[in-house]
Every structure is written in structure tokens, then in C-alpha cells.
Amino acid sequence: MNDLLVATESKPPPLQAFDVTIAYRSTPVLQGVSFSTPPGTLTAIVGPNGAGKSTLIKASLGLIAPASGHFEFFGRSFRDVDGRVSYVPQRTSVDWDFPVTALDVVCMGLYRKIGWLRPIGHRHRAQAMEALASVGMQDYSKRQISQLSGGQQQRVFLARSLVQGAELFLMDEPLAGVDAATEKTIIDTLRGLRDEGRTAMIVHHDLDTVADYFDRVLLLNGRIIAEGPVADVMKPGPLKEAYGGNLLIFESSES
């Protein structure tokens, strides 16, 4: 059996939330959120616009301070485990004019291992190239990141996460606006990580693909509406509660 699989069986969950409430100024956007993510699973974080999906991820990483409650990664605070956690932000929140190549971006994922002031060696570059190849981007290594398509940029970010060697991947809408080939590459890569015992939690907007791509769902709208295996959550009751009238499209595609 894979080492990581063996190791995760006796370990605390990759991410747990304990009664977390988050507010911007004094307006609460997420209330009383508690969950525990099992290792070796792919979880979709789903809910309508403004449900608090991005806020949840950012708060777990300490980018927003919760009004109350706390998060634990592998039973510890984020500060103690951050090398084991990889975060891929929403593509639109990144400054793509930053003058770096695709290979540079992937190498940035190695700095924690190498040390910020140490030079990147041949071995590290080879490792970064291997990660680029695993997401089908080996031919674009020297391309400026600003000159890649949205889907290609997303693949490069995934490659950066891969070299980091994280055990938990938090990704904010990696499939938004990407082409079908990129979507397949990202999902195949995530499945490969899951099969190694790693864990991913992904903000996802397409309800039609949730059952195909994910094992579990965290359904949000200002609080947790439902959480658990896909079959338990993707039911008309909880979905209606989360989406209200906007669920019509989903229901008609199911019939």
C-alpha cells in the first residue's frame, strides 16, 4: 500500500472546522460552520454566488480572521503545517502581468523545500518540468505566464501545487472558464492525487458534474446546508434549500 495511505489512516483529518463564524465588518457571511474532511477524498464546495465558498477557503488559511471558531489542518494550526497544504486561488485574483515564465511559477512551489535564498538547481528544474509535463504544459515552460490562456494558467498553478508535495489541495474554481481538455487534465490529476491518499477541496460551480468528479460535497449558503458523500447531499431537498428558485435549471437537466 502507498506510504501516504498508510500514514493517513491513523492521522487527524486534513481539514476540520469547529463552529466557525465569519463576518466582513459586522455582517456575518458564514455562520456555525463545522465539518471534518476525510483523507483521500475529493470534496466539491458548492453553493450559489455569495454563499461564502471563497470566504471559507480564505478563512481556513488565515487570510481572513473568523469572528469565532477555528480550523485545524491535520489536527494542528495552519502555521504548523502550511507546507502540507497547497492553495490555488481564483484565476481572476492573480496578477498575470507579473513577468515570470511558466517554469518560474512552478519552481516557486519548490522554494519552501529549497529555502528562499538558495539557487534553483538542475534537479529542481527537472522536477518542475516533470510537473509541467504531467499537466500537458511541457511545451510552454518558457512562455510568459501572461501569454497563456486561462486554462493553461490554471494547469501551471496545478503543476506548482504538485511540486510542493502537499497532502491537502484547496482550489478556488479551477475549472471556471477552462476548456474541456484542461478540465479533464485537472480532474485526472486530482484523481491521481486522491488515489495516493491525498485530499482536495475544490470550489465548483457546475452542479451537473459534481457526481462524476467528486466523492463528497460541502453545500453552503451562509452556513452548511448539507455535507457528506455526493449521493447524500445532491438531492432536491438540500439543493433547493441552498439555491432556492435558481435550482430549476438543474432539475430540468436531471429529468
Binding site for ligand ADP (CB under 6 A): 24, 29, 47, 49-55
**Which of 40, 238 has the CB closer to ligand ADP?**
238
- Least Å from the CB of residue 126 to ligand ADP: 37
**Which of 16, 55 has the CB closer to ligand ADP?**
55
**Which of 10, 27 has the CB closer to ligand ADP?**
27
Task: Provide the grid cell at 98.
Answer: 507579473
For residues 161 and 169, is the Cβ–Cβ distance under 8 A? yes
Cα–Cα distance, 42 to 187 (Å, whole number): 10
**Which of 37, 60 has the CB closer to ligand ADP?**
60
- Least Å from the CB of residue 209 to ligand ADP: 18
Cα–Cα distance, 70 to 59 (Å, whole number): 9
- Least Å from the CB of residue 250 to ligand ADP: 17
- Least Å from the CB of residue 245 to ligand ADP: 18
Nearest alpha carbon to residue 218 among 91, 14, 36, 89:
36
- Least Å from the CB of residue 191 to ligand ADP: 24
Q: Which residues pair with 168 in a beta bridge?
A: 85, 199
- Least Å from the CB of residue 221 to ligand ADP: 8
Amino acid at 255: S
**Which of 64, 131 has the CB closer to ligand ADP?**
64
Cα–Cα distance, 45 to 28 (Å, whole number): 19
Helix residue spans in 84-213 (DSSP H): 102-108, 111-114, 122-134, 150-164, 180-195, 207-213
* H-helix or E-strand spanning residue 140: none
**Which of 17, 102 has the CB closer to ligand ADP?**
17
- Is beta strand 168-172 parallel, antiparallel or unpaired with respect to 85-88? parallel
